[in-house]
Amino acid sequence: MQIGDIVARKSYNKDIAFKILDLQETEKGIIYVLKGVNLRILADSLIEDLEFVSKDDIGDIDKVFNRKINTSINKVLVSRLNVNKKYRAPLFDKNINHREVPFGRPGRVLQIDADSEYMNACLKVYKQLSIEAIGYVIAEKDQSSSVVDLIKKVRPDIVVITGHDGMIKRANNYLDLANYKNSKYFVDTVAKIRTYQPNYDDLVIFAGACQSCYEAILDAGANFASSPNRVLIHCLDPVFVCEKIAYTNFEKIVPIQDVLENTITGLKGIGGLQTRGKYREGFPRSQYA
């Protein structure tokens, strides 16, 4: 087996497809470092526990996730079309002055991610959903030292802080940050943001990754976090959370259930607090737009 191969772990009933990232020499032998193809997870394994995933199986796995993603995107766009008919339909009515039609501006997103592949996947879907998003790839341990400068530069309405995480093997205290690989870095980064901007409505924060310490991240000041049930989350879950906030009128508070309805993982993977929307109506529309 080589770097780049797609494999699954036999001891976990081959439930997740992984890409081999690295091979490391240890006393136990060669350890294979793995990254989830669709889910935000890093793992390691001995070769005895690994099995190649066939192209047909990869295709079947991708079909399942792509179906869920496409369903979520379609639901978002249909819902947005129904809510915002007053912005679109009049544009096609020749009897209405173009400048008399309102327009709208959704929230801007800054995403800081430790994984370039997941970041690129997110930026692609932000574009599909007509959300202005700027992304930076920064390792979890370095995110807190960079985040405030990036916020000043980008001036976002929503900040996403994510990467990889997971509980240490055989840990049983779910509230101890020492039992997580990277939760402490997400907590530090959120706290740094809240020191700079304490208002939950002025700057919305999503933070966390697979199996992150949900409670500690919320206590640090995040509006939304993962993972309430310490499950794996899909790399696009933060995107669908951001979309709901970005396209809800700032006069409204978004119910938590509405935020989660289009995520891939749902309430087991994502949770949070009531948060005000970031969409602002404008008037009049420019005659040059």
Alpha carbon of 249 to those of 97, 132, 280, 289: distances in Å?
24, 16, 6, 22
Please state the pTM of the whole predicted model: 0.82
User: Where in the chain is CATH 2.30.30?
Assistant: 1-72
Q: How does residue 89 score in pLDDT terms, banded at 50, 70 and 90? A: very low
Mean pLDDT of the chain: 86
Closest of 208, 214, 216 to residue 159, by C-alpha: 208
Strands 271-272 and 253-254, by their bridges, are unpaired
Q: pLDDT of 12-48, one tens digit each? A: 877 788 889 899 888 878 899 898 887 777 888 888 8
If you classify domain 86-282 with CATH, what class do you get? alpha beta
User: Where in the chain is CATH 3.40.50.2300?
Assistant: 86-282
Residue matched to tokens 């190649």: 52
pLDDT of 74 higher than 90: no
User: Are 240 and 265 a contacting pair, CB within 8 Å?
Assistant: no
Greater confidence, 104 or 220? 220
If you classify domain 1-72 with CATH, what class do you get? mainly beta
Before 198, cis peptide (omega within 30)?
A: no
Q: Give rounded-to-5 percent helix, strand, coil for the chain.
A: 40, 25, 35
Cα 29 from Cα 14, distance rounded (Å): 22
